[in-house]
């Protein structure tokens, strides 16, 4: 399909611009709906219809989030490594027959038992247990991260709902303004051009309403996707979008950083690497084997007891390479802990700065900008009806009010997003 592009001169006429805006609004509503194959919806976890609270969204996500399920499976698998770490070497049985003639045949049955040198089993157990501890922290961190994502997505839905409501109010205001201008045109008090401008402005806000509705659909899908449902069934998120999170102090954040599961996991990785180093160092001494058996010599007509010891000689392979690798990976884990602490501190403090700035912006908008913009629009509308102001003044005041409201909602979304980012980075439950 080919779409012709209007020339620049076509945009100079208000009627052409009105037609383009109306077509854009219609196109926004005419998008093809998302479809899911039959039978898939029944297998997806879904929330109940109607209103959705933050507590219900958190319960759904913590119960059905696929990332949490992955971390849980890893935690369960780590138990197997702990069990295997406690295992001891298996014995082996050997059966030897010498000579095919029965009269001179010699038959030997012996049991070989490797004796693990001290330190190896303890190191294996320590490696497995530290791996299990890391899996525990990873599971808790994943839950905390999902919790932060749900909070952020939930308040994004609340903000999108508020944007949609404001867009509808804007359309109503624009309709009233168009009606007022139309009546004045009929009365011969203003030029018909003013009515065209009013209708262009009305078409523009209708496009903004369609965009707000599209953003709301996306926000709802993003929220329900956290519990694995691509098609949200809830109709409305219920909550107070104006309930702002507090700005934590720098000292409190530093304490949370020091106690964060992220750094604790990195510390455990150092301990695990140290256990691997100890295991590789212990493997430099090979394990001896004790042999106990019975040898039957048919020619002599008697049995002989066999007792032996086998000790490998570490001449060609002293495990030097594996030990060097373990030592360097232990050093790497220490370096990663330092780098992670620096990066985590920077990211958390930056998120705090964004939270503080957005809070200040909200306070300024609530205190000065929004009341002033609403008062200016009311006065401009009343003055226009009394013939004291032109319609361009009304449009100017209307545009200022709408921009202030959009800025307020954007600041709200940034505030909740920054707070959720802090919780996600620290992966703790302090915010609960």
Q: Looking at residue 353, what is its pLDDT?
A: 94
Q: Looking at residue 13, what is its pLDDT?
A: 46
- Give the bridge partners for 113, in sequence order: 290
Q: What is the Cα–Cα distance from 179 to 168, expressed in whole angstroms?
A: 16
Read off the DSSP letter of residue 11: G
- The 10s digit of each residue's pLDDT in 134-190 is 999 999 999 988 998 998 899 889 989 988 988 888 788 778 778 877 887 887 777
Reported pTM: 0.74
- Whether 406 and 165 have beta carbons less than 8 Å apart is answered as no
- Whether 315 and 375 have beta carbons less than 8 Å apart is answered as no
- Whether 415 and 362 have beta carbons less than 8 Å apart is answered as yes
- Whether 354 and 418 have beta carbons less than 8 Å apart is answered as yes
Task: Kindly state the tokens that stand for 248.
Answer: 């934590």
Q: Looking at residue 33, what is its pLDDT?
A: 41
Residue whose C-alpha is closest to residue 225's, from 65, 72, 70, 71: 65
Delineate the domains of the chain, giving CATH numbers in brackets.
Answer: 60-426 (1.20.1600.10)
- Mean confidence (pLDDT) of the chain: 84
Q: Looking at residue 412, what is its pLDDT?
A: 86
Q: What is the Cα–Cα distance from 268 to 394, expressed in whole angstroms?
A: 64
- Reduced to 3 states (helix: H, G, I; strand: E, B; else coil), residue 69 is helix
Q: Looking at residue 47, what is its pLDDT?
A: 72
Q: What is the Cα–Cα distance from 366 to 289, expressed in whole angstroms?
A: 81
Q: What is the Cα–Cα distance from 368 to 359, expressed in whole angstroms?
A: 14
Task: Kindly state the tokens that stand for 394.
Answer: 């009304």
Q: Looking at residue 20, what is its pLDDT?
A: 45
- Give the bridge partners for 295, in sequence order: 108, 304
- The 10s digit of each residue's pLDDT in 242-287 is 778 889 999 999 999 999 999 999 999 999 999 999 999 999 999 9
Q: What is the Cα–Cα distance from 330 to 373, expressed in whole angstroms?
A: 61
Q: What is the Cα–Cα distance from 174 to 202, expressed in whole angstroms?
A: 5
Q: Looking at residue 45, what is its pLDDT?
A: 62
- Whether 109 and 294 have beta carbons less than 8 Å apart is answered as yes
Task: Kindly state the tokens that stand for 273.
Answer: 């690497």
Low-confidence ranges of the chain (pLDDT < 50): 1-42, 431-432
Task: Kindly state the tokens that stand for 218.
Answer: 């996306």
Q: What is the Cα–Cα distance from 380 to 373, expressed in whole angstroms?
A: 10
Read off the DSSP letter of residue 312: -
β-strands 302-310, 92-98 pairing? unpaired
- Using only C-alpha atoms, the chain has a radius of gyration, in whole angstroms, of 37
């Amino acid at each position: 399909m080919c779409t012709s592009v209007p020339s620049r001169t076509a945009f100079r006429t208000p009627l052409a611009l009105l037609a383009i805006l109306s077509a854009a609004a219609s196109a926004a509503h005419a998008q093809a709906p998302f479809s899911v194959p039959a039978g898939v919806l029944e297998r997806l976890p879904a929330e109940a219809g109607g209103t959705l609270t933050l507590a219900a969204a958190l319960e759904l996500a913590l119960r059905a989030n696929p990332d949490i399920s992955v971390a849980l499976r890893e935690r369960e698998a780590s138990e197997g490594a702990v069990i295997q770490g406690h295992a001891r070497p298996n014995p082996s049985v050997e059966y030897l027959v010498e000579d095919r003639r029965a009269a001179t045949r010699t038959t030997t049955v012996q049991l070989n038992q490797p004796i693990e040198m001290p330190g190896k089993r303890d190191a294996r157990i320590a490696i497995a247990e530290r791996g299990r501890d890391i899996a525990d922290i990873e599971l808790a961190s994943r839950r905390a991260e999902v919790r932060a994502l749900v909070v952020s997505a939930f308040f994004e839905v609340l903000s999108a709902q508020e944007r949609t409501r404001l867009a509808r109010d804007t359309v109503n205001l624009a309709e009233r303004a168009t009606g007022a201008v139309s009546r004045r045109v009929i009365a011969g008090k203003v030029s018909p051009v003013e009515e065209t401008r009013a209708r262009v402005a009305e078409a523009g806000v209708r496009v903004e309403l369609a965009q707000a509705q599209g953003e709301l659909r996306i926000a709802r899908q993003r929220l329900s996707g956290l519990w694995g449902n691509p098609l949200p069934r809830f109709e409305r998120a219920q909550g107070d979008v104006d309930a702002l999170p507090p700005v934590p102090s720098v000292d409190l954040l530093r304490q949370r950083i020091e106690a964060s599961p992220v750094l604790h996991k990195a510390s455990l990785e150092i301990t695990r690497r140290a256990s691997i180093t100890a295991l590789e160092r212990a493997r430099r001494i090979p394990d001896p084997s004790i042999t106990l058996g019975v040898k039957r010599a048919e020619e002599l007509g008697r049995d002989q007891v066999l007792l032996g010891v086998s000790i490998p000689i570490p001449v060609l392979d002293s495990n030097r390479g594996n030990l060097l690798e373990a030592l360097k990976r232990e050093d790497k884990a220490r370096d990663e802990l330092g780098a992670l602490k620096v990066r985590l501190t920077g990211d958390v403090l930056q998120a705090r700065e964004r939270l503080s700035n957005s809070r200040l912006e909200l306070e300024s908008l609530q205190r000065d900008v929004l009341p002033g913009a609403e008062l200016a629009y009311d006065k401009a509308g009343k003055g226009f009806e009394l013939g004291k102001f032109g319609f361009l003044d009304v449009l100017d005041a209307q545009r200022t009010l709408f921009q202030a409201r959009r800025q307020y909602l954007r600041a709200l979304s940034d505030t909740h997003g920054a707070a959720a980012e802090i919780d996600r980075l620290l992966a703790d439950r302090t915010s609960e």
